Amino acid sequence: MIETPGSALLVLADGVVPLDPESMVFRAMLEGWACQQRARFLDERETIDPRLALVRRMVAFTGLYPWQWTPAEAEAFISDLRSGLRPIMVSTARSYEITLQLFCAYLTDAHYQWGRVCSERFGAAPQQVFHEWNSVKHIADYEGDPRRRPLDYDEVQALFDAADGRVEQIRARRVKGALPAMRDAALLKTVYAFGLRRQETVGTDCVDLRRCPKTPQFGQFGALNVRFGKSSRGGPPKRRTVLLVPEMDWIVPVLRQWTEEVRPLLAGRSHPALWVTERCGRLHRRSVNDAFEKVARLAGLPAELDPHCLRYSYITHLVEFDYPQRFIQEQVGHLYASTTALYTGVSDEYRTRLLLRALAEHRDELWGEQG
């Protein structure tokens, strides 16, 4: 008989009497669930590891193993995460509930035989702990932190001025750190100029900077080949090419200085990554957060903003530059136009311009009728 990947009989050793059977079975459950997810080609680091970590948090919070869980423990876990100094958002709560729901569905599926194993060994079987009546309902398109928003033009300028100022401050003190500070300044400007996600940014190699035949004046920086775009569940990273728009042409000398003058001092030609560490390694996503937080603090921006706000800003400003919706959608790699709309927060000045334009067109129509 061929067992289903992740089934209890495949991950539990026959004829072994463990000293701590509960702990051993729990570890086998996690191993089996990870195996089942790998069979679906889910990403290890981005999906599987965070899911397993959440299950471990649930066990640590309740002091109970999964076959002992009830809906009451699950509700107490979410309730605890909603309290304290940093309560989770609605979208995070739903994500956690869905993860635990999937784990319980795996345990209660007869194909994997965990119910039988737990009943025989511990006298209790796993059950589903999240149902329609105790989980977050999806009633809004956007449920993220409302304080996270696009930056206006003055805030973007303040951020970049602070990034450049940080370089000068380090140089004036004659201490180490000027090169990483220059890298951080160029990186944040590139995130905004091309509307990139963090993973897309750190996954970029030097060869991903491309020429665009329609904009030869931008040289090798006319387009950026994104190879590590956000993937659909179980799929590979999505690819796209982001064209440099004329309004962002100020990024050309920034990237030229970084690639030709600064980056060789950190990595030479020995590493393919565009953004490298002082030890000649690829920059991590966390480093993008750290760079933004340091500079945003110097610029006096609200603490709740994060690097993704630069992507919000890019989308919003392309709208205000009057680029077509479909073009913007392709630039940022959104499957649906509704997703792009969620990122948009146009300014009052832009809406005023639209209103004046509409009034002028309406006035011309009236004059035409009277004539």
pLDDT at 246: 93
Q: Do 272 and 314 belong to one domain? A: yes
In a domain, 124, yes or no: yes
Beta-bridged to residue 225, according to DSSP, are: 241
Q: Judge if 205 and 329 occupy the same domain.
A: yes
Sheet holding 209-210, edge to edge: 209-210, 223-229, 238-243
The owner of tokens 């921006």 is 301
In this prediction, residue 341 has a pLDDT band, given cuts at 50, 70 and 90, of: low
Write the pLDDT tens digit of every residue in 205-236: 999 999 999 999 999 999 999 998 887 766 67
pLDDT of residue 268: 66
pLDDT at residue 120 above 50?
A: yes
What is residue 219's predicted lDDT score, i.e. its pLDDT?
94
Closest among 247, 147, 132 to 194, alpha carbons compared: 247
Distance of CA 170 to the CA centre of its chain: 30
Looking at the structure, tell me whether residues 188 and 328 fall in a common domain: yes
Q: How confident is the model at residue 62 (pLDDT cuts 50, 70, 90)?
A: very high
Nearest Cα neighbor of 188 from 84, 106, 301 is 301
Higher pLDDT, 281 or 140: 281
Q: Which of 71-75, 83-87, 268-272 holds the top average pLDDT?
A: 71-75
Residue 146 pLDDT grade (very low, low, confident, very high; cuts 50, 70, 90): low
Distances (CA, A) of 308 to 18, 99, 196, 198, 273: 48, 24, 8, 8, 21
- pLDDT reported for residue 333: 87
Residue 358 has pLDDT above 70, yes or no: no
Residues contacting 259, CB < 8 A, separation 6+: 206, 209, 274
Rg of the chain over Cα atoms, rounded to whole angstroms, equals 26
Are residue 88 and residue 221 in the same domain, yes or no? no
- Using CB atoms within 10 Å of the CB of residue 199, give its burial: 0 to 12 exposed, 13 to 18 middle, 19+ buried: middle
Helix (H, G, I), strand (E, B) or coil at 221: helix
Task: Between 21 and 335, name the one with better pLDDT.
Answer: 21
The pLDDT score that the predictor gives to residue 21 is: 86
CATH code for the domain of 232: 1.10.443.10
Claim to verify: residue 179 and residue 31 sit in the same structural domain? no
- Look up the domain containing 84 and give its range: 8-134
What pLDDT, on the 0 to 100 scale, is given for residue 114?
A: 93
**Region of poorest pLDDT, from 85-89, 275-279, 299-303, 308-312:** 85-89
Residue 148 within any structural domain of the chain: no
Element (H, E) at 227: strand 223-229
- pLDDT category at 118 given cuts 50, 70, 90 is very high
Q: Are residues 115 and 229 in the same domain?
A: no
Residue 309 has pLDDT above 60, yes or no: yes
Q: Are both 238 and 335 inside the same structural domain?
A: yes
Residue 139 has pLDDT above 50, yes or no: no
Please name which of 34, 24, 254, 207 lies closest in space to residue 118, comparing C-alpha atoms. 24
Q: What is the pLDDT of residue 278?
A: 87
Pairing between β-strand 209-210 and β-strand 223-229 as defined by DSSP bridges? antiparallel
Q: How many domains does the chain have?
A: 2
Residue 3 domain flag: no
Helices (H), the chain: 8-11, 21-39, 49-62, 71-82, 90-108, 114-122, 153-173, 178-194, 198-202, 251-257, 263-266, 285-299, 308-320, 325-332, 337-342, 348-370
142 assigned to some structural domain: no
pLDDT at 322 (0 to 100):
87
Query: 313 and 240: one domain?
Result: yes
List, for residues 22-47, the tens digit of each pLDDT value. Answer: 998 999 999 999 999 998 888 888 88
Structural domain contains residue 143: no
Residue 186 has pLDDT above 60, yes or no: yes
Instruction: Tell me what pLDDT residue 92 has.
Output: 86
Average pLDDT of span 49-76: 95
Residue 363 falls inside a structural domain: no
Residue 198 lies in a domain: yes
